[in-house]
């Protein structure tokens, strides 16, 4: 047990200046008090742990490797990057995945993330065959989280198609479930795997509308777990939206909204290309939006209409996605700056703690 004096701590009600914070041997805060004696004074501030709402651990192995600024004979866009990512996905074995994820999760913790939602679609071996233990790779991620000491939500993902109405491609073979029954078996095995770590829980989801057929998606929404979060990539790239319109006659968000399936359990990643009706519909549905500003900038995706969404009561969180930025403060700054560039205004974030923050700064300046 040790007591520190810090310059400030951010709590539910706002900032508290110069508190004494007692921490037990497990690193847990046991007491926050305004007076006392400190074992050590820290010239800094304490923030609550950040939640990383979207991660693909294996992509940490290629972080930075796709940044080649030379003349090339092909267009360097999201779809070209995706091919480089497939190459990495095909090359990682279970031991390597655990090592990559362990280092990644330690780095996340070091940067201030204390929980991670792992959007996990790398399920099979390099030939596309299931491992003897079918949640082998999910279990490796759980084990990595346990080693690092980060809380994890393992989200085994249903992946089936190579695009709207298209068969899966050979290099997607490690991701694929044969059908929904096959996927439900994976979920069952994964549920057993999370029991190895007390700070692990489960979610489930579908990679994207382009990666699953209509009947499978409807069945997963209907028959999937009733008490777990549902994750889904929504509308990251313009091509994804136009392909969806060509195939279904509806945009991705519109397709979900028209089926009335969205609720507070849904977590929609990359809501980059939404029209105003879709922004309004998602906010009203209580579904959460997950934004990955650094990755979305890196891949040339686009910028979400956050201000409009927020004004309509929409809830959102951030994710590290392709792992090129593991610092939540930088992630939020990039998010903020993107909004400034889009709207030609400055501060875009609303604060529930305006008055407390004002008091804090007045105290600091006096
Ligand atoms: Zn993603």
The CATH number of the domain holding residue 38 is: 2.30.40.10
Distance 198 CA to ligand 1 centre (A): 25
Average pLDDT for the chain: 91
Same domain, 244 and 288: yes
Same domain, 42 and 76: no
Q: Give me 55's structure tokens.
A: 């991660």
Same domain, 181 and 113: yes
Distance 237 CA to ligand 1 centre (A): 12
C-alpha torsion 14→18→19→21, nearest 10: 110
State yes or no: is 24 an active-site residue.
no
Q: Is residue 172 part of a domain?
A: yes
Q: Is residue 110 part of a domain?
A: yes
Query: What distance in Å separates the CA atoms of residue 147 and residue 178, rounded to the nearest whole number?
Result: 32
pLDDT tens-digit series, residues 148-172: 999 999 999 999 999 999 999 999 9
Please give the pLDDT value at position 71. Answer: 63
Please give the pLDDT value at position 76. Answer: 67
Q: Is residue 211 part of a domain?
A: yes
- In the predicted model, what is the mean pLDDT of residues 67-75? 66
What is the span of the domain harbouring residue 33? 2-46
Q: Which domain CATH number covers 229?
A: 3.20.20.140
pLDDT grade for 181, boundaries at 50, 70 and 90: very high
Distance 262 CA to ligand 1 centre (A): 19
Residue 237 has pLDDT above 90, yes or no: no
**DSSP string computed for 39-84:** SEE-SSEE-PPEEEEEE-GGGGGGTTTT---S--SS--SHHHHHHH
Residue 362 has pLDDT above 50, yes or no: no
What is the count of structural domains for the chain? 2
Query: What distance in Å separates the CA atoms of residue 304 and residue 310, rounded to the nearest whole number?
Result: 11
Within 249-285, residue ranges assigned H as helices are 252-259, 276-285
Q: Is residue 226 part of a domain?
A: yes
Could you tell me which residues come within 8 angstroms of residue 76 by beta carbon, excluding any fewer than 6 positions away? none
Query: What distance in Å separates the CA atoms of residue 351 and residue 139, rounded to the nearest whole number?
Result: 39
Query: What distance in Å separates the CA atoms of residue 332 and residue 330, rounded to the nearest whole number?
Result: 5
**DSSP string computed for 89-126:** HHH--HHHHHHHHHHHHHHHHHHTEEEEEEEE---S-T
- What single-letter DSSP state applies at residue 287? P
Q: Is residue 353 part of a domain?
A: no
Distance 150 CA to ligand 1 centre (A): 19
State yes or no: is 76 an active-site residue.
no
Distance 194 CA to ligand 1 centre (A): 21
Q: Is residue 76 part of a domain?
A: yes
Distance 233 CA to ligand 1 centre (A): 6
Please give the pLDDT value at position 85. Answer: 82
Q: Is residue 350 part of a domain?
A: no
Q: Give me 115's structure tokens.
A: 């929980």
Same domain, 14 and 85: no
Same domain, 54 and 39: no
Same domain, 26 and 124: no
pLDDT grade for 55, boundaries at 50, 70 and 90: very high
Question: Per the residue annotation, which of 321, 336, 344, 356 is the catalytic one?
Answer: 321
Question: Per the residue annotation, which of 231, 233, 270, 273 is the catalytic one?
Answer: 270
Same domain, 196 and 286: yes
Distance 292 CA to ligand 1 centre (A): 8
Could you tell me which residues come within 8 angstroms of residue 34 by beta carbon, excluding any fewer than 6 positions away? 16, 18, 19, 20
Same domain, 256 and 199: yes
Q: Is residue 73 part of a domain?
A: yes
Please give the pLDDT value at position 301. Answer: 84
Same domain, 15 and 69: no
Same domain, 30 and 170: no
Instruction: Tell me whether residue 213 is exposed, middle or buried, using C-beta atoms within 10 angstroms of its C-beta: 0 to 12, 13 to 18, 19 or more.
Output: middle
Please give the pLDDT value at position 12. Answer: 85
Q: How far apart are the first and last CA of the chain?
A: 33
pLDDT tens-digit series, residues 337-354: 999 888 888 877 765 544
Same domain, 14 and 98: no
Distance 320 CA to ligand 1 centre (A): 9
Residue 193 has pLDDT above 70, yes or no: yes
Same domain, 37 and 59: no
Q: What are phi and psi of 330, to 5 degrees?
A: -65, -40
Distance 28 CA to ligand 1 centre (A): 31
Distance 95 CA to ligand 1 centre (A): 22
């Amino acid at each position: 047990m040790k007591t520190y004096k810090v310059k400030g701590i951010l709590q539910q009600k706002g900032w508290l200046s110069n508190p004494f914070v007692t921490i037990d041997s497990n690193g847990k805060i046991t007491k926050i008090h305004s007076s006392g004696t400190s074992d050590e004074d820290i010239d800094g501030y304490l923030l609550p742990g950040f939640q990383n709402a979207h991660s693909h651990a294996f992509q940490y192995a290629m972080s930075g490797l796709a940044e080649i600024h030379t003349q090339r004979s092909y267009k360097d866009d999201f779809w070209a990057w995706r091919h480089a990512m497939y190459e990495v996905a095909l090359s990682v074995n279970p031991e390597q995945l655990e090592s990559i994820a362990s280092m990644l999760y330690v780095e996340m913790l070091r940067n201030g993330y204390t929980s991670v939602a792992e959007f996990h679609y790398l399920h099979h071996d390099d030939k596309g065959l299931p491992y003897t233990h079918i949640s082998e790779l999910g279990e490796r991620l759980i084990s990595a989280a346990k080693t690092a000491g980060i809380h994890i939500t393992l989200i085994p993902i249903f992946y089936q198609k190579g695009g709207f109405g298209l068969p899966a491609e050979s290099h997607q073979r490690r991701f694929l479930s044969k059908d929904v029954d096959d996927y439900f078996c994976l979920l069952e095995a994964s549920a057993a795997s999370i029991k190895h770590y007390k700070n692990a829980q489960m979610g489930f989801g579908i990679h994207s509308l382009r990666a699953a057929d209509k009947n499978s998606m409807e069945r997963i929404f209907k028959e999937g777990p009733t008490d777990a979060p549902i994750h889904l990539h929504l509308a990251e790239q313009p091509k994804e939206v136009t392909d969806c319109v060509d195939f279904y006659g509806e945009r991705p968000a519109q397709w979900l909204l028209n089926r009335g399936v969205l609720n507070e359990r849904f977590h929609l990643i990359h809501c980059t290309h939404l029209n105003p009706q879709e922004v309004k519909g998602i906010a009203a549905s209580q579904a959460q939006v997950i934004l990955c500003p650094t990755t979305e900038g890196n891949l040339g995706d686009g910028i979400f209409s956050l201000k409009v969404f927020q004004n309509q009561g929409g809830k959102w969180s951030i994710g590290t996605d392709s792992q090129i930025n593991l610092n939540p403060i930088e992630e939020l700054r990039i998010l903020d700056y993107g909004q400034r560039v889009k709207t030609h205004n400055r501060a875009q974030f609303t604060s529930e703690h305006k008055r407390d923050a004002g008091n804090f700064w007045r105290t600091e300046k006096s």
